[in-house]
Structure 1
Amino acid sequence: MSSVKKTYHLKNRLLAVISLLIFGSVVLVSTIGFMRYSDDLLEQTSTQTQQLIEQISLNTGNYINDLSRLCMSPYYSERIMSLLATTPDSAADQLEKRRAIENYLREVMTIPRKDILRVYILTDEIYYSTRTAHAIDFSIDYQQESWYQKALDTASTVFIPAHVESNNGYTLTVFSMVQRLRSLSDSSRTLGVIRVDANYSGIQDVLDDVQLLNKSALLIIDSANSVIYQRSTLPADLTQSEAFRAAISGESPTRIHFDKETYIINTQPVQYTDWTVIAVNAQSSLMQNVASARQFTILLGFVCALVGLFVTVLFVRSFIKPINNTVDVMRTAQSGDLSVRASEHRAEEIAYLNRSFNELLVRISEMIERDALLTKEKYEAEYLQKIAQYDALYNQIRPHFLFNTLSTVSLLVKSERYTDAIASIDELSILLRGMVNTDRDISLSAELKIAECYLSLQERRHDDLTYQVELDPALSDCHLPALTIQPIVENALIHGCEPRVGSSHISIRVYAEDEHVVICVSDNGIGMEQEQLEKLLLALSDPAAAPKYAETRSVGLVNIAQRLKLKYGSRTAISIASTRDVGTSVTIRIPQKADGQSPLCPPTKQ
C-alpha cells in the first residue's frame, strides 16, 4: 500500500513538474523571443533608417556640391572670363558685354536647370539671369553683405542658408551658393562674385521617392531649426517639442516619449551645409506586425503544451513503475554491490535498458578485475626490470674498473716509486670510495675528482701522458650516477692512447648548452676504423646488440649509456666521433630537466 501511494505521489509530482515546465517554457520562450525579436527588429530598423538618411544626406550633399561646381562654370568659358577681366571703352561695348554674359548665364545655368531661380555675377556691374518674377533688388549694396565679404575671403564656395524673399506679395524660399571669380591670367586678381539662387525642387526630387511608414516623418532642418523640407504623418506639435529638439542635437539614433508614444529619431548632417536630415518613426508602427506574431505564437504554444501534457499523462502511468524498479537496482549498484541485476521481463524499451545495464555491470566487474591484475603485473614487471638492469650494469662496471685501477697501482709499486705510490694509494682510496657509491648519485665535481685521480695514477705510469679537466662552476652541484665519466676516460687511455706511439693527451670538458649538460671526453689516440665505429654506434642505439659487441671491445660505454637513459629518459644522447690515427671524442648530452625522470640539476633553494 505504501509503495502504491509512493508511486502515486511520484506520478503527480512528475506531472506537476512537467506541466510547470511546459507552460513556463511557453511563456518564457514567447516573452524572451518577443523581447529579443523586438530589440533586434528595432535595432535593425534603426540601422536601416540610419543608412537611409545617410544616403539621403549623401545625395543632398552631392546635389549641393553640384551647385557648387555650377558656380565654377564661368571658368570653362574663356570669352566670359575675358569679358569680366576687361573694361568696355564705350556704352555700346558695355551693352555687348552685358548681353554676352547674361546670355551665357541664361543658356548654361538658368534654362537647363529648373531648380536654378537666379544667377548673378557681381562685379562693378551686376549681371544676372532669372526665371522668376522676383527681380533683383538693385538698391542693396551687395558688397557690404556678409556673404559677399566671406566669398572674397575664401577660395571655397560659400553656402547661404535658406531664407524667405518677399516682393509685391510674392513669397519665395531660396538658398544660395556664392563663389569668388579670379582672373585666369592673374589668380591674385578678383574679378567679382557669382551667386546662384535655387529652390527646393532638386531636393524634393531626391526626398519624395522615399517611402514612409505609418506614423513617420522625414525632415530637413537648418541650424536655426527652420524646416527646409517636411513630409510627415505625425502630430504637428511633435517637432516643436523640447524633447524633439534635444533629441536631434544628440546622438543618433535616440528615442523620445511624446503623447504616450515612443518615437525613434535618426539624424544625419548634410555636407557643405548647416542642414540636418531627420527621420522619425513611431515604435508602435514598427512593432504592429510583431505584436500580432507574438499573440499567435503564445496561442499556438499553449495549444501544443496542452496536447503535450495530455500525452504525458497517458505515458507516465505505464512507465513509472518499471522505471522506479530500475532506479532502485541502479542505486544498489551505485552503492558498490555489482552483483545485483535488473529484471528483463518488462516492456521492450525498459527490458532493453535493463538488459544493457546488466551487461554493463558484468563488463565493469570484469574490467575492474582485469585492470587490477594488469596493473599489478605491470608494476611488478617494471620494478623487477629496473632492478635487474641496474644490477647488471653495476656488476659489469665494478670488476672492469677495479681491475684496471689495481693494475696501475701494482705497476707503481713494482717500479719502486714509493712517493708516487703513497699518492697513488690516496688517490686509489678516492676511487674506491667512489666505487662504493656506484649505486648513488654524486656531484659533477666529485665525479671529475675520481676521473682526475685515475688520470693522475695513469700519468705516473705513462710519462708521455698529459690531461686537462675543465668544469663550468655553475654545474658543480649537478648530480649524476657515480663512475659515469671515469670508465670513458679509462677506455680512452687503454684503447686510444696506450697503443699510440708518442705523447698522448686526454681532455675532459663539462659545460652547459641549450638546457643540457654536455660532458666531452676526447683523446689524440689511434682512433677507430669506420667499421668499429659503426658497431659501437649500433650497440649504443640498440641495447640488444651490446652483448654481441662485448666480444670485441669493452662494454663500459654501452653500460653507461643504458644507465643514463634509464635515469634521465630518452632525451639523453651519447655520440662518438673518431678518426683513425687522429683520435676519438665521446660526448654525452643530459637534459637538465628530464621529463618524468630525476632532474640532473635540482633547482636552487631560495
Structure 2
Amino acid sequence: MIPFIRPRKYKDWSIKSKLLIMTGMLILCSVIVVSLLSYIQYTGDFEKRSADSVQQIMEQVSLNIDSYLDDLSRLSVAPYRNREVMAALEKNTEGSEIDTLIKTRTIESFLDEIMIIPRNDIINVFVLTDSIYASGKEQINLNTTVDYTNFDWYRSAYSTRESIFIPTHLQQIIKNPKRKVFSIVSQLRSTKDTERIIGVIKVDANYSGIESICNKVRMGEKGGLFIIDGNRNLIFSNFSEGNEQDFYSAILSHGVSNTKIKQGKESYLLNAVSIPRSNWTIVAINSVSELNKNASQTRNKAYLMALFSSLLAILVLIFFIKRFLNPLLDIVKLTKEINRGNLSITFPEHRNDEIGYLSSSFNKMILRIKDMFEQNTRLVGEVYEANFLQKEAQITALFNQIRPHFIFNTLNMISLLMQSGKQEKAVDHINKLSSLLRSMATWDTEITVGQEMNLLHAYLSIQKSRFEGRLMYSISIDESLFEYQIPSFLLQPAVENAVIHGCERKRGMTNITIRSKVEDDLLYFYIEDDGKGMDATILEKLRVKVEQLNVQDVDSRKSGTGIGLINVNKRIKMKYGVVYGLSIDSIPDRGTCVTITLPRFEATNNLSSIMES
C-alpha cells in the first residue's frame, strides 16, 4: 500500500520554491493578461472603427441611390422642356381624329426619344391625360379599359407638386403584366395656367441601376446588403450566403438599426441607413469573425510568443535564483548553528559582490556576538542605570532653567500691572509667560533658531519689565539661520545666567547682547552681559563643572544654574561631537561672555539685527 503524502503548506515552502513558483506565475499571468486585454481592446476598437467605416460607406450608397432616384425624377419633368409636347398636352382634340392622331404622334415620339437614353433600368414611360400615351423598351399592350384615375398614386400625384415614389409592384396599365418595377410619378401642369393640371407622367424602372450601385460594395464572403421598403418587403439583396432568408428574418425581428446579432455560432454587425425619398432602408451585414480574422491570428501568435517568453524567463529565473540563493541558504544553515549556541563557525569569503560583503559581515557579526555576549549582562545594567540618571538630570536641568522665584516675581509684577490699570501690558506678559511654560513640553525635541529667539525675547521682555529700566537687551542673529534646527533651550540657560549674575547683582544698568557669527564651517552664538563678571578662580571652577559629562555627579543645590550650562554643553557634544560645545569667558566688573559653538550647515555672512529693545 502506497503511503499517503500530505502536501506541504505554503508557509513551509522554501524561499527558492516560493520565488520560482510565484515569479513564474506572475510572469505567465502578466503576459497572458496583457495579451488578452490588448486583443479585447484592439478587437473592440476595430469593430467600432469597422462599424463607423461601414456606416460611412452605407451613407454614400444611400446618397448614390438617392441621386439615382433623383435622376429618375428629372425624367418626369422632361415634357416641360419641349414646347410642342406641352402644346399637344394642353390642346383639346375632342371630335377631331386628325388632331387626336397628331397629338398622339407628338407625345409618343417624345416618349420614344426619352427611351433612347442609354439607361437599361428605365422600362416604360406613361403620360396620362385625356388618354394613355406610352413608350417602352419592349413591346407593350396597353390596357385602355383600366380606370387609372382610381389608383392611389394617381390621386396622390394630383394632390401634390412633389414627385411620388411607388414601391415595387407589377407593371400597371398594360395587359398581362409580368415584370416587377418601381415608379416615379409626377403631375403635369399647364405652362399657360400653372394652376391647371393637365395630366400625370409615370416612369417605370427596374433594379439594375440600384443593383449596379450596391454591387460595388462588398461586405465579405459572409456578408451582404439588403434593401427593405417601408412595408418591410425585401427589394434587393446581394447576400452571398445561401441562408439569405434567415438573415432577413433576423433583421425583421431585431429591427433595422445599428446593432449586433448572432446567427448560429457567428456574430454579425448590422448597419442601417434610410433613404427618405423612397422610404427604403439599406442594411449592411458584416461577419465579426471576418473583421477580426487578422486580429485573431495576431492574438494566437501573441499567446504562443507569450508562452514561449514566459517559459524562457522561468528557465533563466531558475538558473539565477539557484545561483544567487545558494550562498544565502548556506548562511541560513550557519545561522541555525549559531542559534544552537555554536559560535565557532565561519562562512567562506571568496566573492567580491554583495554576497561576499554579506559573508564578510556575517563573520564579523559572529566575532562581535562573541564579544557582546561576554559583556551583555554587565552593559545592560549600566545602560539602563545611565539612561535613567541622564533623563532625571535633563529634567532637573530644564526645570532649574525657569526658577520658581522668577515665576513668582513675574506673577507679582503682572498683578501690580493689572492693579495699576496696565491691563494690556499685563496680558502681554501673561502670554509670554505662557509661551515659556508651554515650551517646557518640547525639552527633548528640536526647534528652529527663530523659535528659540522668540522664546528668549519673551523671557527677556518679562525680565526687563521686572527690573524696571535696569535691563536692556538686543538680539542680532543671521537671518539665514532662522530655519536652522537646534535642540530646544540651548541658549536660555546662558541668558538666565546673564540676568541672574549680571543684572540682579548690579545696581546700575545692565546690557545683554545675543549675537551670532559664521566662520568657515563653524557657527557661533554669543551671550554677553556687562555685569559684575567673576574672577579667575570662580571662572575656572565653573569651566570645570561645565566640562563634566555626567550631570548626576553635580550637586544642583550647590551649583545654582550651572547645571543648566552643563546640560547644554553635554547635549551639544552628544549631538554634534566633542569638538563643539560651550565656553565661558569673564572679566571682573566688566562682564561675562558665553560662547556656544555648533557646526555650520547653511549660513551666510549677512548679519543683521532682528530685535532690539
Q: TM-score, normalised by structure 1?
A: 0.52
Per the TM alignment, residue 212 of structure 1 is displaced from its structure 2 partner at its CA by: 3.1
Identify the range of structure 1 (177-186 vs 12-21) with the bigger mean alpha-carbon deviation: 177-186
- 1:144 corresponds to 2:216: no
SS of 1:244's equivalent in the other structure is helix
Which residue in the other structure is 1:184 paired with?
191
Query: Does the Cα contact within 8 Å between 2:256 and 2:281 map onto a contact in 1?
Result: no
Query: Does the Cα contact within 8 Å between 1:70 and 1:109 map onto a contact in 2?
Result: no
Which residue in the other structure is 1:246 paired with?
253
SS of 2:201's equivalent in the other structure is strand
Unaligned runs of 5+ in 2: 1-10, 332-348, 359-443, 465-607
- 1:67 corresponds to 2:72: yes
Please list the CA deviations of residues 45-91 of structure 1 after superposition, one character each: whole Å capped at 9, or x if unmatched. Answer: 22322222222122112211221232122233344333322324843
- 1:43 corresponds to 2:115: no
Cα 1:169/1:147, change in 2 over 3 Å = closer
Matched residue type, 2:258: S
Per the TM alignment, residue 154 of structure 1 is displaced from its structure 2 partner at its CA by: 1.3
Separation of aligned partners in 1, 2:303 and 2:241: 32
Per the TM alignment, residue 307 of structure 1 is displaced from its structure 2 partner at its CA by: 0.8
Query: Does the Cα contact within 8 Å between 2:112 and 2:135 map onto a contact in 1?
Result: yes
Matched residue type, 2:159: D
Matches within 5 A, 1:150-549: 150-165=156-171, 171-236=178-243, 238-239=245-246, 242-247=249-254, 249-258=255-264, 260-320=265-325, 375-384=447-456
SS of 1:32's equivalent in the other structure is helix
Separation of aligned partners in 1, 2:65 and 2:461: 91
Per the TM alignment, residue 160 of structure 1 is displaced from its structure 2 partner at its CA by: 0.6
SS of 2:285's equivalent in the other structure is strand
Per the TM alignment, residue 32 of structure 1 is displaced from its structure 2 partner at its CA by: 2.6
Which residue in the other structure is 1:398 paired with?
none
Identify the range of structure 1 (45-54 vs 375-384) with the bigger mean alpha-carbon deviation: 375-384
Matched residue type, 2:268: Y
Percent identity, please.
Answer: 33
Please list the CA deviations of residues 314-337 of structure 1 after superposition, one character each: whole Å capped at 9, or x if unmatched. Answer: 2223444789999xxxxxxxxxxx
Per the TM alignment, residue 306 of structure 1 is displaced from its structure 2 partner at its CA by: 0.9
Separation of aligned partners in 1, 2:356 and 2:165: 88
Cα 1:75/1:387, change in 2 over 3 Å = farther
Please list the CA deviations of residues 268-315 of structure 1 after superposition, one character each: whole Å capped at 9, or x if unmatched. Answer: 222211322122233333333333322221111111111111111222
Separation of aligned partners in 2, 1:51 and 1:100: 46
Aligned partner of 1:116 among 116, 119, 122? 122
Separation of aligned partners in 1, 2:50 and 2:105: 55
Query: Does the Cα contact within 8 Å between 1:110 and 1:129 map onto a contact in 2?
Result: no
Matched residue type, 2:112: R
Which residue in the other structure is 1:34 paired with?
39
Separation of aligned partners in 2, 1:250 and 1:160: 21
Query: Does the Cα contact within 8 Å between 1:151 and 1:179 map onto a contact in 2?
Result: yes
Per the TM alignment, residue 386 of structure 1 is displaced from its structure 2 partner at its CA by: 8.1
Please list the CA deviations of residues 99-118 of structure 1 after superposition, one character each: whole Å capped at 9, or x if unmatched. Answer: 22222233245534332111
Please list the CA deviations of residues 206-258 of structure 1 after superposition, one character each: whole Å capped at 9, or x if unmatched. Answer: 112112312112121223343322212223364476433212x2531231334
Unaligned runs of 5+ in 1: 1-5, 327-343, 354-371, 393-542, 548-558, 560-606
Cα 1:207/1:314, change in 2 over 3 Å = same
Cα 1:169/1:86, change in 2 over 3 Å = closer
Cα 1:318/1:192, change in 2 over 3 Å = same
Matched residue type, 1:243: A
Which residue in the other structure is 2:111 paired with?
105
Separation of aligned partners in 1, 2:176 and 2:124: 19
SS of 1:42's equivalent in the other structure is helix
Per the TM alignment, residue 169 of structure 1 is displaced from its structure 2 partner at its CA by: 7.4
Structure of larger gyration radius = 2
Cα 1:71/1:385, change in 2 over 3 Å = farther
Matched residue type, 2:206: N
Query: Does the Cα contact within 8 Å between 1:244 and 1:256 map onto a contact in 2?
Result: no
